[in-house]
Amino acid sequence: MWPHSPCLHYAFPMPVSVSIVIPILNEADQIPTLVDSLRKLGEGIEVLFVDGGSTDEGPSLVRMSGYSLITSAAGRARQMNTGARATSGEVLIFLHADVRLPPDSLLVLRIAMRDRGMVYGHFELMYDTRQWPYPWIAGFGNARSRLTGLATGDQTIFVRRHAFDAVGGYPEIPLMEDIALMRRLKRLGRLACLRAPVVGSRRKYEREGLGHTIMLMWLVRGLYAVGASPRFLHRVYYRRDPGKHASQHQPSKL
């Protein structure tokens, strides 16, 4: 599923403690394969699930897996901030429940973070199909992130804890919390764009249609760029007002 990373030819990096924070809300269908992928990352990694009030079996499946689980008020940004405060790693990885990290991802990350000037970053994105236009969607998004220094949550953002704390964590807004965080982090240091691609979800494209989803994500990004409020953008994107269980756990694809 994942291509071989050229970074593996380098010397083994100095240890960097890593915590993976995973916000969930009614993600029971994703938990089994997510847990399997996490186990392939190796030992000595802190993994914390943060449940925002699920009404399905997701929390029970997490407990059965042996990984840690805490609860939080709903809202992806709020849950990720809660998880960050409850973990101890030097580097924080924020993983969406429907995204899979490659087995060599932490090795590649540790190599990159040996450079103390690297403050934050993201992985490149791919999908588990070569069917058009998914490679184009992923490739365009990766190129855009390298050019702008901004990434979306489904590209799996990571950040040094001291930098995350310095900017106050994720802004607790209904949508675009990932872009807002990245904008703040750009002032603190350099971006690491890791070519060990994570595998993202196609579920929104498949559920709502490729053309509609692509046009919608560009509309929302454009409106955000000219100053539209995150609450308004949430209403446009999800066709509902953000509430207690707002659909903030679907991959943003923005």
Residue 88 has pLDDT above 60, yes or no: yes
Instruction: Work out the average pLDDT over 198-214.
Output: 89
Distance CA 162, CA 2 (A): 31
In terms of pLDDT, which residue wins out, 121 or 254? 121
**Domains along the chain?**
15-201 (3.90.550.10)
Look up residue 218 and give its DSSP letter: H
Token pair recorded at residue 45: 């990694």
The closest of 159, 129, 174, 163 to 1, measured between CA atoms, is: 129
Residue 253 has pLDDT above 70, yes or no: no
pLDDT at 243: 59
**Of the candidate ranges 73-87, 191-205, 213-227, the one whose mean pLDDT is the lowest:** 213-227
pLDDT at 248: 45
pLDDT in tens, 167-189: 999 999 989 999 999 999 999 99
pLDDT at 215: 85
Instruction: Work out the average pLDDT over 142-161.
Output: 95
pLDDT at 246: 46
Cα angle 114, 116, 118; round to 5: 90
pLDDT at 83: 98
pLDDT at 158: 98
pLDDT in tens, 220-242: 878 878 888 888 888 888 777 66
Residue 14 has pLDDT above 90, yes or no: no
pLDDT at 3: 46
3-state per-residue secondary structure call for 46-95: EEEEEECCCCCCHHHHHHHHCCEEEECCCCHHHHHHHHHHCCCCCEEEEC
